[in-house]
């Protein structure tokens, strides 16, 4: 049986790095920052909350999250507790590629092993390049709303529901999912 290829993003799909970042930024700058408030991809709400301090939240996120991956990757929690077993089940019918923009690829690899993920490969895609264009998969599971412009009938986007991507509308090749368990509904039956 030919297995279909599925790409799965790390941050915001498997790894809950945002909660860690929001907890630390709240503590450090004494603000109240919650995940549900992050309703855009550019950290607008946080930038507003920190405007008196003139902080570039995007840069701060890159800096701090890179430190988490380098030194504290064991502390990065899963978004869905049973995601390793969901992917294990999916691998019976599909090839699962983990796709990330994160440069600390060795740390991502260690984190995936530590959490017990089984997969068919870990792929690094340079920041700024669309994962849908760079990687040969039929389905990509990702939380990045900007990927919606590069989805098409051959490469579908399963948008993993997060507060920052709720503006994206579904169409024939963009579908919203609320759990990794829903991926199996999009796998075509064997010919």
Can you read off the two tokens belonging to residue 124? Answer: 């690094």
Single out the residue of 9, 15, 94, 97 in contact with Mg ion (rule: CB under 5 A). Answer: 9
Q: Which is nearer to Mg ion, 11 or 50 (CB)?
A: 11
143 or 180: CB nearest Mg ion: 143
β-sheet bridge partners, residue 6: 96, 139
Site string for Mg ion, 117-156 (x = CB under 5 A): --------------------------x-------------
With vertex at residue 119, the alpha carbon angle to CA 114 and CA 123, rounded to the nearest 5 degrees, is 95
Least separation in angstroms between CB 22 and Mg ion: 15
Non-local (6+) Cβ contacts of 153 within 8 A are: 172, 173
Single out the residue of 77, 112, 110 nearest to residue 98, CA to CA.
Answer: 112
The reply to whether 84 sits near Mg ion by the rule CB under 5 A is: no
Among 12, 55, 110, 134, binds Mg ion (CB under 5 A): 12
Q: How far apart are CA 126 and CA 145, in angstroms?
A: 17
Q: Please give the residue ranges that form the binding site for Mg ion (CB under 5 A).
A: 9, 11-12, 143
């Amino acid at each position: 049986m030919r297995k279909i290829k599925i790409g799965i993003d790390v941050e915001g799909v498997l790894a809950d790095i945002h909660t860690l970042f929001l907890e630390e930024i709240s503590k450090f700058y004494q603000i109240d920052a919650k995940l549900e408030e992050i309703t855009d991809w550019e950290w607008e709400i946080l930038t507003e909350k920190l405007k008196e301090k003139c902080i570039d939240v995007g840069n701060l996120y890159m800096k701090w999250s890179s430190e988490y991956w380098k030194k504290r990757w064991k502390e990065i929690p899963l978004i869905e507790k049973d995601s390793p077993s969901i992917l294990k089940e999916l691998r019976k019918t599909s090839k699962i590629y983990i796709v990330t923009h994160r440069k600390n690829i060795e740390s991502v690899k260690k984190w995936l092993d530590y959490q017990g993920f089984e997969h068919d490969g870990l792929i690094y895609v340079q920041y700024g390049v669309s994962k849908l264009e760079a990687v040969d998969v039929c389905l990509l599971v990702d939380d990045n709303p900007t990927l919606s412009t590069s989805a098409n009938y051959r490469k579908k986007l399963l948008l993993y529901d997060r507060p920052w991507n709720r503006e994206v509308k579904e169409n024939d090749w963009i579908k919203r999912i609320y759990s990794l368990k829903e991926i199996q509904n999009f796998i075509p039956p064997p010919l």
